[in-house]
Amino acid sequence: MSILDDQYPKTVSLSDGTAVELRAMSADDKKAILKFAKSLPQEDLLFLSMDLTEPAVVEEWIKNIRDGVSISLVAYDGEELVGYANIHRNRAPWMHRVGEIRVNVAPHFRARGFGRVMISHIFDIAGSVSLKKLIAQMTTDQHGAQAVFRKLGFVPEALLADFVEDRNGMTRDLVMMTFDVDGLTDQAGAPVKL
Ligand SMILES: CC(C)(COP(=O)(O)OP(=O)(O)OC[C@H]1O[C@@H](n2cnc3c(N)ncnc32)[C@H](O)[C@@H]1OP(=O)(O)O)[C@@H](O)C(=O)NCCC(=O)NCCS
């Protein structure tokens, strides 16, 4: 039983007319997630914060969904999983209003407005579970992803040097972009511009 069960599955249409079904992710999606991750180009795998080609990592994600720590949508084009969007809530009490968004769209579905659709659904879900601030993290090399989130109203709030390591063991700088769900912020100054 998921808090998404009364709203999903739901069919959405992309601007080119392609119909995609959005579903609340569950243990039934494990095989499809592994297949999706294994089909991603090396370049994409390099930047994944979790190694989703590993069954144990996907099982951990499913456990997080069961525990209410993650809320996740998966998208299917027929039998094929073509994307996911996830909100991960921090377990620390003082961060319980903050959610990290992770979105991933199959390469052949990118630049067709699909990422925007997934993110807008995740925004609505974030609001419905009283999250106040959303975070999206990416490396400084991921220019496209930064552009997408900027267009959706996220602002770069922190740059963390040599903060993450890719699958080849190379360190990368991390950009933390944020979005205030209520449009409210208690920051004294403007966000850091990168
Ligand atoms: C980031 C990602 C989800 C975007 O999905 P997408 O389906 O390609 O995005 P959309 O087609 O909905 O584009 C959304 C907006 O960003 C713009 N955009 C998309 N890709 C862009 C790029 N590479 N550079 C600049 N702008 C871009 C689009 O023009 C669109 O703006 P518009 O609505 O004003 O036209 C997708 O590229 C992806 O899965 N990347 C790999 C995983 C990742 O980096 N995730 C982000 C970190 S969590």
Domains located in the chain, CATH noted: 10-180 (3.40.630.30)
**Residues 24/73, Cβ–Cβ less than 8 Å:** yes
- CA–centroid distance, residue 139 to ligand 1 (Å): 15
16 pLDDT higher than 50: yes
Ligand 1 atom closest to the Cα of residue 106 is 39
pLDDT tens digits, 143-153? 989 999 999 89
Question: Comparing 1 with 166, which gets the higher pLDDT?
Answer: 166
Q: Where residue 188 falls among pLDDT bands split at 50, 70, 90? A: very low
HEC sequence for the chain = CCCCCCCCCEEEECCCCCEEEEEECCHHHHHHHHHHHHHCCHHHHHHCCCCCCCHHHHHHHHHHHHHCCEEEEEEEECCEEEEEEEEEECCCHHHCCEEEEEEEECHHHCCCCHHHHHHHHHHHHHHHCCCCEEEEEEECCCHHHHHHHHHCCCEEEEEEEEEEECCCCCEEEEEEEEEECCCCCCCCCCCCCC
Pocket of ligand 1 (CB under 6 A): 44, 102-105, 110-116, 136, 138, 142, 144-145, 147-148, 151
Q: Where residue 185 falls among pLDDT bands split at 50, 70, 90? A: low
- CA–centroid distance, residue 136 to ligand 1 (Å): 13
pLDDT recorded at residue 193: 56
Q: Where residue 45 falls among pLDDT bands split at 50, 70, 90? A: confident
pLDDT tens digits, 104-140? 999 999 999 999 999 989 988 998 888 999 999 999 9
- CA–centroid distance, residue 166 to ligand 1 (Å): 21
- CA–centroid distance, residue 111 to ligand 1 (Å): 6
